[in-house]
Structures are given as structure tokens and as C-alpha cells.
Amino acid sequence: MNLDLLIENITNPALLFFLLGIIAVYLKSDLEIPSNTSKFISLYLLFAIGFKGGQELAHSHFTMDIVWCVVFGILISIAIPIYTFFILKYNFSIENAGAIAAAYGSVSAVTFVTAVSFLEMQSITFSGHMVAVMALMEAPAIIVGVIMIQLFDKNKTTTSKLGPIIKHSFTNGSVLLIIGSLLIGFLASDKGALGIKPFTTDIFKGFLAIFLLDMGIVSGKKLGDFFKSGWFSIAFAILIPLLNGCFIAYASQLVTQDVGNRFVFAILAASASYIAVPAAMKIAVPKANPGIFLPMALAITFPFNITFGMPIYYSIIVGS
């Protein structure tokens, strides 16, 4: 891995604000971002990414590459929860194994947003259809996680019907917003899009920095309790995303040669959901403990990916 690339990533202002949030927690500071403000910023980031992706998609020609990218993304979100479930079920209950597997098969929209900032630092673009690929990778992993629990739950305590779970996966606020913004960006005229460019582009990095500050505070609060859960959870939360990201960084050349698209695939495969999956599992598998899979995804995997993971995946892509 290029050491200069790692240093450049770590000194990114947005990432430094994330570290400031963690430091604030350990200093017992009263620094915090109001919950309503944090929610607004997260909605703004998803809106901006979706809209810009729709604009890029409107100016690109539909090809089989787009179809293969969508298929590849869905296959990733199906394969990861299946293989990770069989690793997890020997160390956790069936319910928790399925929930963790679903989280790591699904994707993190916030990690995706941070990855976009990383690509901008490298002056690399990615195709608009990758925003749609990200949105479509949310639901399959959740469905597979629930199915695995139902198949291996000897006591049959999970009887949730898949219909409501599928509906919830696609009507989840973050998924609905990014798909809706993608469609609006696709349909909007160039003149109309130019009118809101200051909002969708110019202030994006500033809002991202504030949002990562909030993520740092949230992560810092969860780290203490999580470290008490044992070495396996920590090792899994680092090694599995690293394995997934490195493998997909290399294998993605089978469906696209675009460096930006391949990087997005890698970071999506390496990310873990801590928004959509906890909400879905609360409905489908109430016995699953969010105190396990939520800190794994947010307090360990997310920081690892945005500090060390992204430079590693990028190095693999440009070297292959």
C-alpha cells in the first residue's frame, strides 16, 4: 500500500473531525451534535449523492456494463451473509449470527459517502449507476439473514414473513431517499440541476465533516462496552471487511475496468450497515441483540474502512 496515500487519507479534514469526535468522548466533553441536526445532515448527504448520481446517469448511455454491475452488486450482498453466517453461528446464537451476517452483507450509506470524498481527493469519478447499485444492495442481505435464521433456528422462534421485511428494506428512509434522489436527478434538466448546484456540490464536504464529527462521538460512546465483548467480535469486525474489500477490489475487474466503480464495489463489500439492518432486525428478529452487531459495524468496521481500508482497496485496484 502507498504510504503517502494512507497519510493523505488520514489527514483528510473530514476524517480528522471523526477522530475529534472520539477524542471528545474520552475527554468527557459535552460536545455533541443535536439529533435533529444530525438527521438533517445525513438526509442531505444521501440526497446530494443520489441527485448527482442521477445527473451522471442521465448523461451516460445504457449498456450491458450497467446490468452486469447491478447483478454483481446483488450477488455480493447475497454471498457475504451466507458465508459469514456459517462462521458466526459457532460463536453467537443463531439470531445474532443472522443479524450480524445481514449487517455485513448489507451496505453503509455513510461509508459510501465518505468513499465518494476519497475519490474526489484522487480526482477520480465513478458512474452514476453505482448509486443505484448501492441502494439495491441493502435489501438482499437482510432477506438472506432472516432466511438463514429461519433455516437454522431449531426452536423456530423466528416466524416473520418475508413480505413485510422486503417492503421495509425498500421503504427504509435512507434507501427511499437515495433512490428517489437518483430518479429526480435523472429526470431533472441541466438548467434545473445547475440552479441547485451550490446546495448539492459546493457545501457537500463541509456537511460531511460535521456529520463525521457526530459519527465519531457516537462511535466513541460505543467503543468501551464493545471491547468487553471479546476478541472474536473485534477480529471479525476488522478481518471480514478487509477480506471482502480486498477480494472484490480484485474481482470487480470482471464486470468493469473503471477504477472509480471498482473502488465503490470494494468499499460497499467491506462496509456494514448500522442503520437499515438494525431497524429491520428489530421487526424480523427481536431476539437479536443490537448491542453486538451495531457496535461492530459502527465502532470498529466503519473507522477501519475510512482510515486504512480505503487506501488498501484503492492500491489493489490500481495495481491490478
Which residues of the chain form beta strands (DSSP E)? none
The stretch 159-183 carries a mean pLDDT of 70
Asked: is 3-319 a CATH 2.60.40.10 domain? The reply is: no
Identify the CA nearest to 302 among candidates 75, 74, 115, 53. 115
Tens digit of pLDDT for each residue in 209-250?
Answer: 888 888 788 778 877 766 766 789 999 999 999 999 999 999
Task: Identify the H or E element spanning 7.
Answer: helix 3-10
**CA-based nearest residue to 245, from 261, 214, 266:** 266
Q: Tell me, what's the pLDDT at 81?
A: 96
- pLDDT value of position 315: 93
101 half-sphere exposure, CB direction, 13 A CA radius:
31
Domain ranges of the chain: 3-319
pLDDT of 288? 80
Dump strand ranges (E) for 159-291. Answer: none
How far apart are the two ends of the chain, measured CA to CA in Å?
A: 13
The pLDDT value recorded for residue 172 is 65
pLDDT tens digits, 68-109: 998 999 999 999 999 999 999 999 889 999 999 999 999 988
3-state secondary structure 29-83: CCCCCCHHHHHHHHHHHHHHHHHHHHHHHHCCCCCHHHHHHHHHHHHHHHHHHHH
Whether residue 68 contacts residue 255, with contact meaning beta carbons closer than 8 Å, is answered with yes
What proportion of the chain, given as a percentage, has pLDDT over 90?
29
Question: Where is mean pLDDT largest: 20-34, 39-53, 219-233?
Answer: 20-34
Asked whether the whole model's pTM tops 0.75, one would answer yes
DSSP symbol at 62: -
pLDDT tens-digit profile of 264-274?
Answer: 999 999 999 87
More confident position, 282 or 113: 113
Whether 284 contacts 158, CB under 8 Å: yes
pLDDT over 60 at 159, yes or no? no
Query: Which residue from 210, 215, 262 is spatially nearest to 110, judged by alpha carbons?
Result: 215
Given a cut of 80, whether residue 169 has pLDDT beyond it is no
Q: What is the rounded distance in angstroms from the CA atom of residue 221 to the CA atom of residue 235? A: 20
Q: Which one has a higher pLDDT value, 290 or 133?
A: 133
CA pseudo-torsion sign 27, 30, 31, 36: positive
φ, ψ for residue 61 (rounded to 5)? -90, 140
Please, what is the angle between helix 276-284 and helix 94-105, to 10°?
150
Say what the pLDDT of residue 166 is: 66
pLDDT the model gives residue 1:
55
Mean pLDDT score, 171-199: 81
The three-state secondary structure class of 301 is helix
CA atoms within 13 A on the CB side of 4: 2
Burial of residue 277, with CB atoms counted within 10 A of its CB: 0-12 exposed, 13-18 middle, 19 or more buried: buried
Grid coordinates of 180: 428517489
